[in-house]
Chain A
Amino acid sequence: MKVYMKPIKMIAWFAENGILTPVRYQMNDESRQHITINIDRVIQRDEEKLAGNRMIIFKCQSVIEGTEKVYELKYEIGSCKWFLYKM
Chain B
Amino acid sequence: MFGVYNYDVGCRKVMDKKRIIFHIDANSAYLSWEAVYRLQHGEAVDLREIPSVVGGNQATRHGIVLAKSIPSKKYGVKTGEPLIQARRKCPNLVVVPPRYELYMQCSSAMIDVLKDYSDKIQLFSIDECFLDFTGMDALLGDPLEVAHGIKERIKRELGFTINIGISSNQLLAKMAGQLKKPDMVHTLYPEEMPSKMWVLPVEELYMVGRATAPKLNQMGIYTIGDLAKTNIDLLKYKFKSWGLMLYAYAHGIEDTPVNNDGAVPYIKGIGNSCTIHFDVEDRETAHKVLLSLVETVAMRLRHGGFCCRLVQVSIRTSELASYGHQRKFHVATDCTNEIYAEACRLFDRAWRGEPIRHLGVRVSELCGNDFIQLSMLEESWEKQRLVDRAVDKIRLKHGSYSIFRAGFLHSRLAPMQGGVVEDFPVMTSIL
Contacts and interface: CB of A to CB of B under 8 A. Distances in A.
Size bin of chain A's contact surface: 10 to 19
Contact of A52 (B41, B42, B44, B106): B106
A3 B43 CA distance: 8
B105 A53 contact: yes
B409 to A, nearest CB: 33
B44 A51 contact: no
Size bin of chain B's contact surface: 20 to 34
A83 B109 CA distance: 23
15 contacts: A3-B42, A4-B42, A5-B42, A5-B43, A50-B39, A50-B40, A50-B159, A51-B158, A51-B160, A52-B105, A52-B108, A53-B40, A53-B105, A55-B40, A83-B41
Nearest to A55: B40
Given A51-B33, A52-B105, A83 B42 contact: yes
Interface of B: 33, 36-37, 39-44, 102, 105-110, 157-160
A85 interface: yes
A interface, over-half SS? strand
Nearest to B111: A52
A50 B161 CA distance: 12
Nearest to A50: B159
Given A51-B158, A52-B158, A85-B42, 15 more contacts: A5-B41, A5-B42, A48-B157, A49-B157, A50-B36, A50-B39, A51-B37, A51-B40, A51-B102, A51-B106, A52-B110, A53-B37, A53-B40, A53-B102, A83-B42
Interface string A34-57: 000000000000001111110100
Contacts of B160: 51
A85 to B, nearest CB: 7
A51 B107 CA distance: 9
B145 to A, nearest CB: 24
